[in-house]
Structure 1
Amino acid sequence: MEVVILGGSRQIGRLAADAVEQLVRRKPDAVLGLATGSSPLPVYDELAARHGQGLDFSQASAFALDEYVGLPAGHPASYREVVRREFTNRVNIAPENVHVPDGTAADIPAACAAYEEAMAAAGGIDLQLLGVGTDGHIGFNEPCSSFASRTRIKSLIEQTRRDNARFFDNLGGVPHHVITQGLGTIMAARHVILLATGAQKAQAVRDLVEGPVAAICPASVLQFHPHATILLDEAAASALKLADFYRHTYENKPAWQGL
């Protein structure tokens, strides 16, 4: 696990976009894993700007991490709409190559199995963007999720529903159920980049980076990932005991290593 502490969200967005750009230029048919929420928005802004300067996504494909269950088609808070609005409509990725779990499916287990099959058929995720919840969840894998889990339906804890209420008219409008890639699914991605900003994420960041690998903090499973990159601002890194070591390591990193 590599921990990089930067000055703010714009720097984080640029560095994560560098990794995506290098991947897409090296492998034009790259498979991207897309997160929603506020953390990845600077990355999508940066990638849209780079597309305007010639970065080509025409052969790439993308899979979203998760989706609410039961929201009607076109609901502005559905992750299908968020992914389209914030990223895929701003670049030249083909609409048929953008995949989101089907939260309106009549047979949810079958939809989850089909999503896993589609990712496998695409060759697996090359680079997965992640945020982290205040309770340590990644995707919608709430505390005590199985580390071996694959795409499935999950119930949201109230803290997550309260955190996400800002995207709805009120807390009552936040669904109780979601479809999410499992922790096992996320761990199968070849490169994982987790983004976290703000003091409200400091406890979760400390637990995922320096705490024990434990089900109470699902993101801590990333300690076992062979290529996990954690991009933080100073506030999100404020509870880390080894913050100075992480800064020193990144400042003295050989240029050939990349992100």
Structure 2
Amino acid sequence: MNKYIKQIDCADYQALSEQAAQFTAGLLKAKPDARLGLPTGGTPTGMYKRLKSMDLDFSKCHTFNLDEYIGLPAADERSYRFFMQSRLFNHINLPAENIHFLNGAAKEPEKECERYDGELYRHGPLSLQILGMGFNGHIGFNEPSDSFIPQSHIQPLSASTIKANSRFFKEEKEVPRHALTMGMAPIMQAQKILLLICGEEKCALLESALEGPVTPRLPVSLLLLHPDVTILKCAKSQNAL
């Protein structure tokens, strides 16, 4: 295992969320103009709840979210943009112009990916990339495949991802089959990575990934090559939604 990977076992989901929030807050206080890479989904929900209550100054920082469903506009309550607005952005002093997001409703998704990569490039490496992990080892919507894709791209979603994310929709058939996702290059170029893992199944998969080898069949394994990774994990599943 990479000697630069630090693992912290948390007693429960609340403790994991608290430590994740404190980690992020510490970085933001030390670097007010930090560039934060942010995830969505169930795991970071508790962290966002804690962050919005901490009276932090977000006025100089920029945020870059990992992904968005294709076909869902920002105002759709099932979109990741709506998720972030309702759980964090609407409650902090983060300027709207400092929020960077893939537009799932873009008429030309390929050009939207190019636009987003341009924003990432202009602002420089992320100060901190916060990640969750899917049940198949995906990070962002970088699904298991034959190769790592460095740039933002259109990603067909796997059956396991669609099933896992169906809890956010009325029916599984409503889950979009494609998404836009940040590629692996900006994730790996981040100065620090904070990985949040919750539940026995994901903890077991993480343990396997950390044993190597690095393979695109298990995207999270690429973190073995990063020089500054902190993993917060708890075996108990969260009840945060």
What secondary structure sits across from 2:68 in the alignment?
Answer: strand
Give the Cα separation in 2 of the matches to 1:228 and 1:147. 19
- Give runs of aligned pairs for residues 1-16 of structure 1, distance below 5 A: 1-16=5-20
Select which of 27, 44, 50 maps to 2:54: 50
Q: Which amino acid aligns with 2:45?
A: L
Q: What do residues 114-166 of structure 1 show as CA deviations (whole Å, max 9, x unaligned)?
A: 10111121222111111000000000011016335211111001100000001
Give the Cα separation in 1 of the matches to 2:31 and 2:74. 33
Give the Cα separation in 1 of the matches to 2:174 and 2:77. 12
How many residues were matched structurally?
233
Residue 216 (structure 1) shift: 1.3
Identical residues among aligned pairs (%): 37
Structure 2 match to 1:107: 108
Q: TM-score, normalised by structure 1?
A: 0.86
Contact 1:132/1:204, CA 8 A, preserved across alignment? no
Gaps of 5+ in 2: none
What secondary structure sits across from 1:179 in the alignment?
Answer: strand
Q: What do residues 80-133 of structure 1 show as CA deviations (whole Å, max 9, x unaligned)?
A: 101111111111111111111011111111110110111121222111111000
Q: Quick one: structure 1 residues 133 and 145, their matched pair in 2 at CA, closer, same or farther if it must change by over 3 Å?
A: farther
Q: What do residues 161-209 of structure 1 show as CA deviations (whole Å, max 9, x unaligned)?
A: 0000010111110001000011122111111111011123133212222
Residue 210 (structure 1) shift: 2.3
Structure 1 match to 2:31: 27
Structure 2 match to 1:195: 196
Structure 1 match to 2:221: 220
Give the Cα separation in 1 of the matches to 2:7 and 2:18. 16
* RMSD, aligned α-carbons: 1.4
Give the Cα separation in 1 of the matches to 2:18 and 2:7. 16
Residue 28 (structure 1) shift: 0.9
Contact 2:125/2:186, CA 8 A, preserved across alignment? no
Give the Cα separation in 1 of the matches to 2:173 and 2:227. 40
Q: Point out the more displaced range, 134-143 or 227-236.
A: 227-236
Q: Which amino acid aligns with 1:183?
A: M
Contact 1:208/1:222, CA 8 A, preserved across alignment? no
Q: Point out the more displaced range, 164-173 or 120-129.
A: 120-129
Select which of 3, 12, 22 maps to 1:18: 22
- Give runs of aligned pairs for residues 145-224 of structure 1, distance below 5 A: 146-224=147-225
Determine which structure has greater relative contact order: mean sequence separation of CA pairs < 8 Å that are 6+ residues apart, divided by chain length.
2
Give the Cα separation in 1 of the matches to 2:41 and 2:155. 18
What secondary structure sits across from 1:220 in the alignment?
Answer: helix
Contact 1:151/1:185, CA 8 A, preserved across alignment? no
What secondary structure sits across from 1:154 in the alignment?
Answer: strand
Give the Cα separation in 2 of the matches to 1:145 and 1:92. 41
Give the Cα separation in 2 of the matches to 1:2 and 1:29. 25
Contact 1:204/1:217, CA 8 A, preserved across alignment? no
Structure 1 match to 2:134: 133
Q: Which amino acid aligns with 2:224?
A: Q
Contact 2:203/2:235, CA 8 A, preserved across alignment? no
Structure 2 match to 1:65: 66
Contact 2:131/2:140, CA 8 A, preserved across alignment? yes
